[in-house]
Amino acid sequence: NRTYLLEMYEEAMKGVKHLLVRKSKPNGLVFVGELPSGADGDFSPKMDHL
């Protein structure tokens, strides 16, 4: 049974939504940023190419 893989994915996506997804002001556009210094560091509103 591989339900643990789905559980791990869902947990990771919760972290992405909580830490990396933001909305711009004043238009409310959704974007993904990065945390170059880790979860306790400053948020950087940019993302390098994939």
What pLDDT, on the 0 to 100 scale, is given for residue 38? Answer: 93
Residue reference for tokens 């990396």: 20
Q: Residues with Cβ < 8 Å from 31, sequence gap 6 or more? A: 21, 22, 23, 24, 45, 47
What pLDDT, on the 0 to 100 scale, is given for residue 20? Answer: 95
Number of structural domains (the chain) is: 1
Residue pair 32/20 in contact (Cβ under 8 Å)? The answer is: yes
- For residue 45, what are the domain limits? 1-50
Q: pLDDT in tens for each of the 50 residues of the chain?
A: 899 999 999 999 999 999 999 999 999 999 999 999 999 999 999 877 76
Residue 37 burial (C-beta neighbours within 10 Å; 0-12, 13-18, 19+): exposed
